[in-house]
Structure 1
């Protein structure tokens, strides 16, 4: 195909955390795909063909294919395209047919480590967003650092409780990072012992655990 798919990382939420190349691609897009939140924030161009992604990804892929005959398609994904995003599905379907360009973005994981003032090159990064706990990667070791993406089931309360059962000391530090980059951003630094008892539970957030 003559036209291409441009997968754009829109970062953790705020436009301030997006790179200029991502903003330019979205503003120039004739066909734009993204979540409802992303479209509300960035789908402002008049006459732009837009598709809001819901649970059924097949419909999004059909829209992308229909647009490629006449124009490039820009697909917005939260965080960075290379870290648990729609990029995998797009590559599986279109990689042999069309050029796929990737514009990186800041993942919420990167932002969480930065906010906590911690390097993350040695951290074990784990997504439990819609995924089961990878037990072997969560085993306690002195000096170990973990970063978690969470969801409704695996959250700021249940994950610390899991770690306690796996031998992590109650005094182990955990940073609970919620709605990063937004005006109502909240960061709580506590211990996994106390986090397991917290009354307020944070769902889609980032947990950083440092032994």
Structure 2
């Protein structure tokens, strides 16, 4: 296989947050794969495109065919190494044919927005999954960053953590629409987060 899959992280959303190397790969791509929003935002006339939807096997089949003639640029939100299509690509293609261009993850962006170092934080996800109770264990000073979804929104996660021993006075940050003009970051106690500032598909950071 001569051609490569170039997995480009496109950051949390706004174009200004895409690193130049990723933008160059996207602009020069003959074949571009990504979510519908990303394709509407980044694709241009003359590119062959394919939208990532629920059928991941269809995405893999499209890429396999296109690799016969061209490199394929796959856009993924945030950073490719953090809950993205990269895992599926690794299972379907030789590693030597995959090139990854990193991006700013929504998690990294959220920590930056609240000026909180994240080298000792636990990074978890409630997006389509539930962390184990062991992973959610509370101790004073612990920091966790979490991806949310519709079921486990910020209200539900606050209640879930308190039920598992988290201090009600722990500081919670609810970070939604990161990098967009309507970005919103709310800081409140974990107790208050049970009923206020509900947000889904966002980043929630809790500082014990």
Category of TM-score, reference length = shorter chain: over 0.9
Mapping 1:152-191, distance limit 5 Å: 152-191=150-189
Q: Once superposed, what is the RMSD of the aligned Cα atoms?
A: 0.9
Shift of 1:201: 2.1
Runs of 4+ displaced beyond 3 Å: none
> Are 1:210 and 2:207 an aligned pair?
yes
| Gaps in structure 1 of 5+ consecutive residues | none
Shift of 1:166: 1.1
| Separation of aligned partners in 1, 2:125 and 2:147 | 5
Deviations 1:102-156 (A, max 9, x none): 0000000000000011000000000111112321111110110000001011111
| Separation of aligned partners in 2, 1:132 and 1:169 | 20
Q: Could you tell me which residue of structure 2 aligns to residue 81 of structure 1?
A: 80
Q: Could you tell me which residue of structure 2 aligns to residue 151 of structure 1?
A: 149
Mapping 1:1-211, distance limit 5 Å: 1-44=1-44, 46-95=45-94, 99-198=97-196, 200-211=197-208
Q: TM-score, normalised by structure 1?
A: 0.97
SS at match of 2:135: helix
Shift of 1:36: 0.5
Deviations 1:62-88 (A, max 9, x none): 110110000000000000000110001
| Separation of aligned partners in 2, 1:134 and 1:24 | 40
SS at match of 1:136: coil
| Gaps in structure 2 of 5+ consecutive residues | none
| Separation of aligned partners in 2, 1:143 and 1:95 | 42
| Separation of aligned partners in 2, 1:203 and 1:24 | 32
| Separation of aligned partners in 1, 2:94 and 2:123 | 27
| Separation of aligned partners in 2, 1:168 and 1:127 | 17
Deviations 1:1-55 (A, max 9, x none): 11000000000000111100000000000000000111011012x2211000110
